[in-house]
Structures are given as structure tokens and as C-alpha cells.
Amino acid sequence: MDRQRIWTISDVLEATGGRLVFGDDGTPIRGVSTDTRSIHEGELFIAISGKRHDGHQFVKKAHEKGARGVMVSEAYTAAVSSDFEKDRYWIAVPDTLKALGDLAAFRRRESQISVVAVTGTNGKTTTKEMTASVMGQAFSVLKTPGNFNNLIGLPLTLFGLEEDHEWAVLELAMNHPGEIARLAEICEPQIGVITNIGAGHLQGVKDIDGVMEAKGELLHALGEDGTAVLNIDDERICRLAEKYNGRVVSFGIHSSAEVWATPISQSRSSCSFDLGWYDESVRVSLVIPGSGAIYNALAAAAVGYRLGLSMEEVKKGLEGTVPMPGRMEVLGLAGGIYVINDTYNANPASMSLSIETLCSLKGNGRSIVVLGDMMELGDHAERAHRELGVLVARAGIAGLYATGQFAGVLAGGAIGAGMEAEKTFVGSREQIVEALRGSLGPGDWVLVKGSRLMVMEKVVEDLRSKIAKRES
């Protein structure tokens, strides 16, 4: 919740249907937290049960850190002595995760803002950043911080609403069917953006058509009064558009879109294109390389177009967007070596885009890839990693360094597609860095990428450190 908005327990009970176990229902609440590491004095601590931690185990610590009260599950209250921390308030609900979302939905409705919701297999965060930058030229905008895009992060974002906010630009992610529907129920968007539909989170949705159906939940939530901003270069998004009865603003490069880009030029750390709609166009230069960034920019421009911003305002917003850490971040290392830090996450579609960008940027230099596993692919994992190896070989990559459970499958796919075995290396992150540090030279380009749990940014950090020492 924002600094100006102070709620009472009565407000929380109304929003969540919770039960006050003990405490004064007039007690002011100065914020909400789900993490005792960052909790502030006077806040309400909501105990969320997650995959790795159960927030109920940290209730006492929340009190010690200054939480004025806690929200817990009804099941938990039965195990707690009635006189425990009785100077604090306790609220019980059947499901604390649902209550968190209900509380955020209450705050969103109360604020009377409008919402742009961004989803898609790839490019959500960059599109969100670009959209907020574009809209910020004309409006006061709240945006998702970092990647607060799930059933915990999105509510926490909405608690940041302040009185002067006119719009919120929110990122919506999913692992299973129904998640986007719930996120949209919480934030009630007027504009929905779908960047693309690819093979991501297949473990939860079975196949790419399952991804399409899950992303389509956003259009269902928009209804006939909403606006869908859609990438019509994506065949599955076109299929969703055909079923949508609201306003559609299309964007694309290869199709006859309302908002379009052509021609395109790439440099070492940027790309330029002509942005157009109707009979207007303007040259835009992004400080983010790759065709993926252009699609992200088009999505943001389409939102600006829908809201009546001028082309110059859109241009200024796009050109003012800087790369997020770990997302197509081009780093110059000592000795004329370049690293593309795209370590934030990975799936088959984003791997393909990143390799394409690497090949377009390397010029006459060598292209080298350091790849970690792609997670959450379920039964598709082995085939996806083998196909990625084939892609690496066919792209003419000079060296493949792989780590993770499927590293051997990945390298095998590359060798099977014609890559020389001596150009592949399978090992730990540390072994890869040691193998690379003495072999890289001027003009070499290294792409480092893998899913979040692979922590591939450690490779980037170690390369920067050890190559700098090698040159000193």
C-alpha cells in the first residue's frame, strides 16, 4: 500500500472476508508485506505458503521486525496459543494467497486508475518497461517493479498505488492454466498486450496450444469494452484475435499492421527502425539490440497510439528505455571481447531469438554460446534441447559450452547436425569459465543464456572478473 493510504483492519476484513481472531479493528495498517526481510514498522504481514517456504514459520519474526499484525490461514490459528503476542492483531482467512489478491483488487478498484496488462511467452518485462516509459510522457504511471508478475508480485505492485497515479502497467506471467485469469481478475485491465506465444512453461500447460489458451485468458478478462494490443506476426495470436469481440490494435513487421516497423538496422548495442501508423512515421533508435526488442517497442508504441500520444512522445519514451539487467545486455570486456548477458530466463523461442541476435552483431568475429538448461518444459525437455543443439550448429556458431542436466543432449544435437565435437564443451559453470578465459580473443562475441534456476549470470560475472585479471 502507498505511503498516503492508511487502512484499518475493518477495511482488510471487508476486502478479504477474513476473521479478526484478536486485536482492535480500528488499528491502522501502514503497509503490507509477505517477506520478513523487508518488512517495515506498522505493516501487516501476510503468511504465504510457497514451494520452498511457509510464511507461517516467520510469524514471530514478523512481529519482532515491527509488524503490527499478521494474516494467517484458519488452519494455523488452531495451533497457536490464544495469548501469543496478544498486543498485536491477528486476521485469519481460509487461503492467504487468495486474500492477498483480494486485498490488492480492493485497492485497485478504490484507486480508480486504468490498467495496461502485458503478457506473452517472451519480452514481457522489456515491453512493460517500454510501455511505461511511453505512457510516462503523458500520464502518471505505476509499473511492475522488476518481474513482480505472479500471484504475489502483482498484488504487491498494486499496493504501491499513490493518489496521483492515472495508469498502471502490469506484467502478467503464468505457469498453469487459470493464473492469468486470476491476475486479470485482481487488476481489471482496460488494455491487454500479448507479445508472442511460444514454447514456454509447457510442464504446466502441456503444449504450445495450451500456452495460447492460457494467454487468451487475458482477452476474456478484457471483454468487449477492452482493447487488445496484439502481435499479428504471430499465427496463434491471430487465432485469438479472431475470437475477440473488443477493439484490436495490431502491431508487426511482416504483416499489414496498424503499428509497424521497417526497415531495420542493427549495431553493436542498438537497433533502429522506422515506426509508423496511418501515414505517419518516425525513425526510432533503441539502446537494446535484436528483433525481439523491436517487437517489444511496437507493442509499447501501439499502446501509446491507442491512448492518443503523439509519435514524438512515443519515440521519446522508446528511446529512453534502458536494458534491464540480464536481458540482451551487451557488455564490453577487456581485450575487445563482447558478452551478451541474456541470463534472466530461457525457453526455446527466446533461445532462438538470442542466437539470431548474436549472429547479427558479431560481424567478422567468432560467435560463442554458453547455454544452461531450459526449465519447465516437462516431457518436451529432451527434444527441445536436442533441437536447440541443431539450431546452434546450423547458425554456424564457433563454440558451444553447455551446462546442466540436458547439456549432453544439447551438445549431441549440435554434433548430430554437423558441428565438430571439439567445438563443444560440457561441464559446470566454473569449468566453462576456465575453458573460456584463455581461449577468447579480440572480436569474439559470447552469448550467455539459461533459465533462472541455472544462475547463468555467475558465468558473466566470472568472465568479467577473470578476463580483466588476465589483461592486467
pLDDT of 124 reads: 94
Please state the rounded mean pLDDT for residues 240-258: 93
Find the distance separating the first CA and the last CA of the chain, reported in whole Å.
Answer: 49
**Average per-residue pLDDT for the chain:** 92
For the segment 287-294, the average pLDDT, to the nearest whole number, is 91
Nearest to 352 by CA among 322, 296, 305, 392: 392
Query: Which pLDDT score, from 0 to 100, does residue 2 have?
Result: 42
Report the distance separating Cα 400 and Cα 176, nearest Å.
Answer: 32
Backbone φ, ψ for residue 267 (5° rounding):
-130, -175
What pLDDT does 130 receive? Answer: 98
- Residue 280 pLDDT > 60, yes or no? yes
Quick one: average pLDDT of 389-396? 98
* Among the ranges given (47-61, 112-126, 361-375), the one the predictor scored with the smallest mean pLDDT: 47-61
- Between strands 424-426 and 399-402, the pairing is parallel
Average pLDDT over residues 74-99: 79
Length of the chain: 472
When pLDDT is cut at 50, 70 and 90, the band that residue 76 belongs to is: confident
Q: How far apart are CA 402 and CA 373, in angstroms?
A: 8
The per-residue pLDDT for 410 is: 98
**pLDDT score for 296:** 97
Percentage of residues of the chain with pLDDT beyond 70 = 96
Considering only residues 203 and 112, tell me which one the structure prediction assigns the higher pLDDT.
Answer: 112
Stretch among 118-127, 150-159, 200-209, 421-430 having the lowest mean pLDDT: 200-209
What pLDDT is stored for residue 80 in this prediction? Answer: 63
Residue 141 has pLDDT above 70, yes or no: yes
Give the model's pLDDT for residue 254. Answer: 74
The pLDDT of residue 201 is 72
| CATH top-level class of 112-319 | alpha beta
- Single out the residue of 109, 278, 127 nearest to residue 192, CA to CA: 127
Among 119-123, 144-148, 405-409, the range scoring the smallest mean pLDDT is: 144-148
Does this model's pTM top 0.85? My answer is yes
Architecture of domain 329-471: Alpha-Beta Complex (3.90)
Range with lowest mean pLDDT among 77-86, 169-178, 247-256, 361-370: 77-86
Q: What are 120-138's pLDDT values in tens digits?
A: 999 999 999 999 999 999 9
Work out the average pLDDT over 428-453: 95
In order of 317, 347, 351, 380, 386, the CA distances from 343 in angstroms are: 25, 11, 10, 21, 20
Lowest mean pLDDT among 49-58, 228-237, 381-390: 49-58
Buried b (16+ CB within 10 A) or exposed e, 206-221: eebeebbbbbbbbbeb
The rounded distance, in Å, linking the Cα atoms of 298 and 94 is 43
Whether pLDDT at 356 is above 70 = yes
Dump pLDDT digits (tens) for 321-343. Answer: 988 889 999 999 988 999 999 99
How do the domains of the chain map onto residue ranges? 7-94, 112-319, 329-471
Stretch 60-65: mean pLDDT, rounded? Answer: 90
**What is the pLDDT averaged over residues 357-364?**
92
Q: What is the pLDDT, as a whole number, of residue 36?
A: 92
What pLDDT, on the 0 to 100 scale, is given for residue 225? 96
Q: Output the pLDDT for position 4.
A: 53
Least confident of 16-30, 75-89, 136-150, 301-315: 75-89
Residue 87 is predicted with a pLDDT of: 62
Mean pLDDT in residue range 227-248: 96
Q: Is residue 455 within 8 Å of 462, Cβ to Cβ?
A: no
**For range 358-364, the mean pLDDT:** 92
Question: Per-residue pLDDT tens for 166-176?
Answer: 999 999 999 89
pLDDT for 323 equals 84
Mean pLDDT, to the nearest integer, of 296-320? 98
Rounded CA separation 456/429 (Å): 8
**7-94: CATH architecture:** 3-Layer(aba) Sandwich (3.40)
